[in-house]
């Protein structure tokens, strides 16, 4: 599975509450919050674990990337995932833009921006432990 993953100490609610500030310290803002548990219940009548997909955006870095190649927008925002396991543990993951960039036509030119984003998201994960 691509991305960077960590087990987070504390409760799901605590981690969800702390996440926006951890993102903010690295210049990201929350631009979307998808609650899969609620969506699956409402749309499919299916019970599912607590699972959130948080869309995070660093406006300065996003601007750099889309200025270099407007097609990079399909990879924005950066997804950060928070879910609760069946054993009650909390797991957090973040996209790795270096992996996502893969065979993109301007991968070499975008690599410094992607590396910057990866480093910032890794620091967010470290803060959330």
How confident is the model over 28-55, as pLDDT tens digits? 999 999 999 999 999 999 999 999 999 9
* 117 vs 128: CA distance, rounded Å: 17
CATH number among 3.30.310.70, 3.40.640.10, 3.90.1300.10, 3.30.70.100, domain 4-128? 3.30.310.70
| Burial of 95 from C-beta contacts in 10 A (0-12 / 13-18 / 19+) | buried
Sequence-distant (6+) residues with CB within 8 A of 1 are: 93
Residue 128's nearest CA partner among 32, 25, 57 is 25
pLDDT tens per residue, range 42-95: 999 999 999 999 999 999 999 999 999 898 898 899 999 999 999 999 999 999
Percent of the chain with pLDDT over 90: 79
């Amino acid at each position: 599975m691509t991305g960077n993953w960590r087990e987070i100490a504390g409760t799901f609610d605590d981690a969800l509450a702390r996440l926006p500030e951890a993102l903010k310290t690295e210049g990201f803002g929350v631009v979307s919050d998808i609650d899969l548990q609620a969506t699956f219940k409402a749309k499919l009548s299916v019970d599912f674990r607590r699972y959130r997909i948080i869309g995070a955006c660093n406006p300065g870095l996003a601007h750099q990337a889309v200025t270099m190649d407007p097609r990079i927008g399909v990879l924005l925002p950066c997804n950060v995932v928070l879910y609760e396991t069946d054993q009650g543990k909390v797991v957090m993951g973040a996209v790795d833009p270096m992996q996502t960039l893969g065979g993109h036509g301007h991968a070499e030119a975008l690599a410094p921006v992607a590396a910057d984003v990866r480093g910032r998201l890794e620091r967010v994960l470290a803060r959330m432990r």
